């Protein structure tokens, strides 16, 4: 029997599979895509002048034409050089070339009233009223966002022509407006803010990548937004916006509130359908890719559409044309994100191969998709979504497909398989599919992890297990959701079943992600790896995928060593001979990060009136930027939200050794205090009470508690603010919280001598820092200024006047820095002196000499 199926002795063995690098070597668009990438990178990080790029590009093209005519083999090299030069010029022009009347030239660093006319570029975002948050001092109003292509601006000389793109935020609704409409808007205009703290995202640069150079905010009412002309009917994006709005409303009518938001995000790319907390759940559990519009969605949709056409016996070539149309339409409908554009291009190329009956080279399709994404926006390759999309597809097509390929059965194994029952084969098939799904999830999670860590400071082992079931559930929801949107206009009854399937599958997604988020160790935050390490890691991955045997095994071993080296370097002790005090710019709030010489990290306060989100935007990025992954202790000055409402978010991102608070902190029966105390207990963090007269030591830095006493004083929480006097190497830093009233009087009764640096009480408020006046009305030192005689006063506050601070503290020779102006203030003290540095201006001052 075996001789009947065994190959003849002289039958040739099948040739070994071709190594992937040969496919890339044969694909003419691959080196072109690499050359374009080099041009982008050179301009992005080196700043190639426009003239240089044009010269390189034009010379390259001319030489290429001449060399091609002569038949020189080097001709193609000049084409690559030309592509690199033109790509650099394109990127440079996109980021830095604006006409003189761009709206950014009319905007200033501070808000000022303005009236602007322009065309809505896209559909205004969904208006969502924020949920009540017990940790927010000032509950935020619901806002609507949109982009405007500016046409004119009202100036003191009348209306002037203007151009450019402007982001508009309205506190309220923008009903009845669509992309393409001409509007007039009255609000406050300003330049997007640059970062104020180390590690903070550069919001100005983020908007500039989309050529947005100004922001306009409309306060409290949408009345100042007036439609001058209806234009959406003649605008492609206007029609797409209206269709997206109709789809969102249909989902809201057919599904419960929670599931309709998920469905709008999944089907239509409506990212405003979910609030930040809901998004964070999917981000932390490592499955945000199943929700955000990506290539996965387009491939599922393309496969579904293709199957439907085949069921109805549509010819292959006609079906390919229809699939291409669906892909392009859906990509535009959902905002043409880079990952969706990549998938649409690759699917369209496959369809084009079917139509033309031509064999497709996957590497060529991959390179062309990259080039199309760059043409659409040359800054997209520098975003996480684009990078992860192309990386994942590269690994899937040329790595996973080989690593997990099923080997051919031997004749004996074939006989055994044929002898099994149907149920046995079905069970084995299901098990194989589950195993393959988990293996793919594991491979992609491991390879993507360093990039995710670099962008989001997050590693999510949970995503390996959670990914496959969520991909299945969201795929079901995707297909049933499309069916719902297609059938519900015809009949409510026809839409009932797909609505229920969509609801149940998305409800299961919510249940799984929220349950998984509670698993200890399922997700871990940490500092980003260095760019050099990251480049080395992905060079190794590329080599492991493309090179033939035995190089993959060698590359894998090298990668393991490289990872171990990275771990050793990242967890080396951060020791120094200096203590650092960084007053972060968090707005009206406070967070002082203290780094002791032996590497310990202590925080004094962690909150702001803008809410807990400041931890995600400012505090955590600063700590990760400093390579910090653990907080040893947090001192909370008092029980006002703007000083502690970031604690819960801080606990999610960092292990905290201990939290020290005032005697009356837990006595303030507010939802914010109760929620925070419950979270502290849930995380098992030790608590202690600090009272005046105590001294704490940490790494050579001593902290004297000057206030409050074990009981009293009577008054609000500000009067009982914890006041710490930190000492190191003969230098002193005074931290005052919101100290005012009787509390200030009690503290001033204890002489401490002149201090080097002082945190202005109560965010630099006039009452807590008021200057005194003599009989002639001339300003005299304020009571706190006369008592502490600081050399430098740091005021953590909102943007606003500081004249009273200068009058109060300047009378004793103090220098005043406010964080809205200076950004974060870092004070470094060691044996030779004390140095203060302003992050935004780069100013450096020697405040005190060695003692």
The 10s digit of each residue's pLDDT in 459-476 is 999 999 999 999 999 999
pLDDT tens-digit profile of 331-364?
998 888 899 999 999 999 999 999 998 999 999 9
Confidence of residue 777 (pLDDT cuts 50, 70, 90): low
Lookup: tokens for 333? 């409908």
Better pLDDT: 373 or 613? 373
Residues 662, 750, single domain; the answer is: yes
Cα distance between residue 674 and residue 665, in whole Å: 10
Alpha-carbon dihedral sign for residues 341, 346, 351, 357: positive
Note the pLDDT tens digit of each residue in 578-591: 999 999 999 999 99
pLDDT value at position 223? Answer: 65
H or E stretch at 371: helix 362-376
With a pLDDT cut of 70, the percent of the chain lying above it is 96
Give the whole-angstrom CA distance, residue 821 versus residue 805: 14
Query: Of the candidates 96, 114, 139, which is a domain's last residue?
Result: 96
Q: How many CB atoms lie within 10 A of CB 6?
A: 11
In a domain, 377, yes or no: no
Quote the Cα angle for 649-216-183, to 5°.
Answer: 130
550 preceded by cis ω (within 30°)?
Answer: yes
Which of 257-271, 408-422, 686-700: highest mean pLDDT?
A: 686-700
283 DSSP β-pair partners: none
Question: Is residue 420 included in any domain, yes or no?
Answer: no
Q: What percent of the chain has pLDDT over 90?
A: 65
pLDDT of 851 above 70: no
Of 96, 131, 148, which closes a domain? 96
Residues 6+ apart with CB under 8 A from 329: none
Answer whether residue 29 is part of any domain: yes
Q: What pLDDT score does 413 carry?
A: 74
Longest dimension (CA), the chain: 118
Going by the DSSP 8-state scheme, the letter that residue 478 receives in this structure is: H
Residue 764: name the closest of 745, 748, 784 by CA: 784
pLDDT tens for each residue of 632-663 = 999 999 999 999 999 999 999 999 999 999 99
Q: Residue 298 pLDDT more than 70?
A: yes
Residue 472 counted as domain residue: no
Burial degree of 86 (CB within 10 A; 0-12, 13-18, 19+): buried
Residue 72 CB coordination number (10 Å) = 14
> For residue 517, how many other CB atoms are within 10 A of its CB?
18
When mean pLDDT is compared across 222-226, 277-281, 307-311, 347-351, the lowest value belongs to 222-226
Same domain for 67 and 205, yes or no, is no
Residue with tokens 């083999």: 73
770 vs 358: CA distance, rounded Å: 81
DSSP letter at 841? T
> Of 793 and 715, which is predicted with more confidence?
793
Q: What does the pLDDT average to over 702-706?
A: 97
pLDDT of residue 1: 38
Q: Quick one: 552 and 604 in the same domain?
A: no
Element (H, E) at 403: helix 401-403
Confidence of residue 19 (pLDDT cuts 50, 70, 90): confident
**Pair 110, 81 in one domain:** no
pLDDT at 8 over 50: no
Phi/psi-derived region of residue 182, left when phi > 0, alpha when psi is between -120 and 50, beta in every other case: beta
With contact defined as beta carbons under 8 Å apart, do 839 and 196 qualify?
Answer: yes
Q: Is the pLDDT of residue 838 over 90?
A: yes
At 47-62, the pLDDT tens digits run: 888 888 899 999 999 9
Residues 653 and 778 in one domain: yes
Residue 2 has pLDDT above 60, yes or no: no
Using pLDDT thresholds of 50, 70 and 90, give the confidence band for residue 11: very low
Report how far residue 782's alpha carbon sits from residue 276's, in angstroms, rounded to the nearest whole number: 43
Residues in a beta bridge with 583: 592, 825
Give the mean pLDDT of 15-37. Answer: 88
Which residues, including other chains, have CB under 8 Å from residue 72's CB and lie 6 or more apart? none
Looking at the DSSP bridge assignments, the partners of residue 146 are 168
Confidence (pLDDT) at 775: 63
Task: State the alpha helices, DSSP H only, in 547-692.
Answer: 551-570, 613-614, 620-625, 641-644, 647-653, 671-682
Residue 245's pLDDT is 85
> What is the residue range of 157's domain?
103-234
Burial level of 380, CB count in 10 A (0-12/13-18/19+)? Answer: buried
Tokens representing 69 are 């005519």
Task: Tell me the backbone φ, ψ of residue 188, rounded to 5 degrees.
Answer: -115, 125
- pLDDT of res. 5: 43
Q: Mean pLDDT over all residues of the chain?
A: 90
What per-residue confidence (pLDDT) applies to 139?
66
Residue 596: CATH number of its domain? 3.60.15.10
Distance CA 153, CA 432 (A): 64
Write down which residue in 194, 219, 234 finishes a domain.
234
Question: In this structure, is residue 557 part of a structural domain?
Answer: yes
Of 564, 556, 571, 562, nearest in space to 533 by CA: 562
Q: Are residues 736 and 658 in the same domain?
A: yes
* C-alpha–C-alpha distance, residues 771 and 766, integer Å: 8
* pLDDT (0 to 100) of residue 506: 92
Q: What is the pLDDT of residue 367?
A: 96
Distance CA 659, CA 667 (A): 16
41: in domain? yes
Burial of 10 (0-12, 13-18, 19+ CB in 10 A): exposed
The answer, yes or no, to whether residue 231 has pLDDT greater than 60, is yes
Beta carbons of 637 and 643 less than 8 angstroms apart = yes
- Residue 493: predicted pLDDT: 86
Cβ-Cβ contacts under 8 Å for 748 (sequence gap 6 or more): 783, 784, 787
Q: Does residue 525 belong to any structural domain of this protein?
A: no
Lowest mean pLDDT among 230-239, 723-732, 828-837: 230-239
Is 226 in the same domain as 176? Answer: yes
The pairing of strands 165-170 and 212-218 is: parallel
Same domain, 541 and 671: no
Say if CB 686 and CB 661 are below 8 A apart: no
What average pLDDT does the segment 418-426 reach? 83
Flag whether pLDDT at 401 surpasses 80: yes
Per-residue pLDDT at 176: 85
Cα→Cα distances 524→285, 454, 653, 654, Å? 10, 13, 7, 9
- Does residue 619 contact residue 591 with C-beta atoms inside 8 Å? yes
pLDDT at 115 over 80: yes
Looking at the structure of the chain, the number of domains it has is 4
Q: Which residues make beta-bridge pairs with 119?
A: 149, 182
Specify the pLDDT at position 221: 61
pLDDT band at residue 610 under the 50/70/90 scheme = confident
| Residue 645 φ/ψ, nearest 5 degrees | -70, -5
Give me the pLDDT at residue 428, please. 85
Is residue 681 located within the same domain as residue 810? yes
Could you tell me if 661 and 698 lie in one domain?
yes
pLDDT of residue 51: 87
Same-domain pairing of 129 and 207: yes
Task: Specify burial of residue 543 (Cβ count, 10 A radius: 0-12, 13-18, 19+).
Answer: middle
Asked if residue 164 and residue 26 are part of one domain, the reply reads no
**pLDDT on residue 4:** 44
Distance CA 807, CA 782 (A): 8
- The candidate with the shortest Cα–Cα distance to 458, out of 381, 527, 551, 405, is 527
Query: In this structure, is residue 390 part of a structural domain?
Result: no
Q: Is the peptide bond before 42 cis (omega within 30 degrees of 0)?
A: no
Q: Residue 634 burial (CB < 10 Å; 0-12/13-18/19+)?
A: buried
> Which range, 86-90, 491-495, 750-754, is most confident?
86-90
């Amino acid at each position: 029997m075996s001789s009947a199926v065994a190959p003849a002795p002289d039958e040739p063995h099948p040739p070994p599979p071709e190594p992937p690098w040969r496919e890339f070597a044969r694909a003419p668009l691959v080196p072109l895509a690499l050359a374009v990438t080099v041009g982008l990178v050179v301009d992005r990080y080196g700043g190639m002048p426009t003239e240089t790029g044009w010269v390189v590009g034009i010379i390259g093209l001319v030489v290429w034409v001449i060399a091609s005519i002569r038949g020189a083999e080097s001709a193609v090299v000049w084409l690559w050089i030309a592509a690199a030069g033109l790509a650099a010029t394109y990127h440079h022009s996109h980021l830095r070339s604006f006409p003189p009347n761009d709206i950014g030239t009319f905007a200033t660093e501070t808000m000022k009233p303005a009236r602007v006319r322009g065309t809505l570029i896209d559909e205004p975002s969904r208006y969502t009223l924020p949920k009540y948050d017990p940790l927010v001092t000032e509950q935020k109003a619901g806002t609507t966002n949109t982009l405007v292509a500016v046409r004119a601006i009202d100036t003191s000389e009348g209306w002037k022509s203007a151009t450019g793109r402007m982001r508009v935020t309205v506190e309220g609704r923008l009903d009845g407006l669509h992309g393409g409409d001409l509007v007039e808007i009255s609000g406050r205009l300003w330049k997007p803010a640059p970062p104020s703290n180390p590690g903070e995202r550069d919001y100005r640069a983020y908007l500039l990548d989309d050529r947005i150079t100004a922001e306009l905010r409309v306060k409290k009412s949408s009345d100042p937004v007036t439609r001058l002309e209806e234009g959406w009917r003649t605008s492609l994006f206007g029609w797409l916006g209206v269709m997206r709005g109709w789809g969102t409303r249909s989902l809201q009518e057919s599904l419960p509130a929670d599931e309709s938001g998920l469905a709008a995000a999944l089907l239509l790319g409506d990212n405003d359908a979910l609030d930040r907390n809901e998004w964070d759940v999917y981000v932390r559990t490592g499955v945000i890719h199943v929700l955000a519009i990506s290539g996965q969605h387009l491939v599922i949709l393309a496969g579904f559409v293709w199957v439907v056409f085949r069921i109805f016996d549509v010819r292959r070539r006609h079906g390919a044309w229809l699939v291409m149309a669906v892909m392009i339409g859906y990509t535009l409908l959902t905002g043409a994100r880079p990952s969706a554009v990549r998938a649409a291009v690759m699917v369209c190329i496959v369809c084009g191969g079917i139509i033309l009956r031509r064999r497709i080279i996957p590497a060529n399709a991959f390179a062309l998709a990259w080039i199309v994404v760059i043409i659409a926006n040359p800054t997209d390759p520098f975003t996480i979504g684009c990078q992860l999309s192309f990386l994942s597809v590269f690994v899937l097509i040329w790595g996973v497909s080989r690593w997990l390929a099923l080997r051919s059965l031997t004749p004996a194994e074939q006989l055994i398989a044929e002898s099994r029952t149907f149920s046995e084969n079905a069970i084995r098939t299901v098990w194989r599919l589950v195993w393959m799904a988990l293996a793919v999830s594991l491979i992609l999670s491991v390879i993507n992890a360093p990039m995710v860590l670099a962008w989001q400071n997050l590693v999510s082992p949970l995503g390996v297990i959670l990914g496959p079931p969520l991909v299945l559930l969201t795929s079901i929801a995707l297909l049933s959701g499309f069916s719902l949107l297609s059938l519900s206009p015809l009949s409510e009854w026809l839409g009932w079943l797909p609505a229920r399937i969509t609801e149940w599958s998305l409800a299961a997604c919510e249940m799984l992600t929220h349950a998984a988020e509670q698993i200890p160790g399922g997700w871990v935050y940490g500092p980003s790896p260095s760019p050099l390490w990251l480049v080395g890691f992905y060079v190794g991955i590329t080599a492991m995928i493309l090179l033939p045997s035995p190089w993959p095994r060698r590359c894998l071993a090298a990668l393991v060593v490289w990872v171990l080296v990275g771990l050793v370097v990242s967890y080396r002790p951060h020791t120094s001979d200096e203590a650092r005090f960084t007053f972060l710019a968090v707005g009206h709030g406070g967070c002082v990060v203290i780094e002791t010489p032996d590497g310990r990290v202590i925080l004094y306060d962690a909150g702001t009136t803008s809410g807990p989100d400041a931890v995600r935007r400012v505090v955590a990025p600063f700590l990760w930027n400093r390579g910090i992954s653990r907080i040893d202790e947090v001192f909370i000055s008092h029980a006002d939200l703007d000083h502690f409402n970031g604690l819960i978010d801080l606990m999610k991102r960092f292990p905290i050794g201990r939290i020290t608070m005032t005697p009356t902190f837990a006595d303030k029966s507010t939802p914010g205090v109760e929620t925070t105390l419950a979270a502290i207990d849930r995380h098992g963090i030790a608590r202690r009470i600090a009272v005046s007269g105590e001294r704490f030591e940490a790494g050579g830095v001593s902290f004297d508690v000057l206030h409050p006493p074990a009981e009293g004083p009577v008054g609000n929480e500000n009067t009982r603010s914890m006041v710490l006097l930190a000492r190191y190497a003969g230098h002193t830093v005074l931290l005052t919280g919101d100290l005012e009233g009787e509390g200030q009087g009690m503290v001033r009764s204890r002489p401490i001598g002149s201090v080097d640096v002082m945190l202005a009480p109560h965010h630099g408020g006039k009452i807590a820092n008021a200057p005194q006046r003599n009989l002639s009305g001339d300003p005299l030192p304020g009571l706190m200024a006369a008592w502490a005689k600081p050399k430098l006063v740091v005021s953590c506050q909102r943007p606003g006047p500081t004249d009273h601070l200068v009058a109060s503290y300047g009378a004793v020779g103090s220098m005043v820095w406010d964080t809205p102006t200076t950004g974060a203030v870092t004070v470094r003290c060691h044996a030779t002196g004390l140095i203060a540095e302003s992050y935004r201006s780069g100013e450096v001052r020697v405040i005190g000499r060695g003692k």
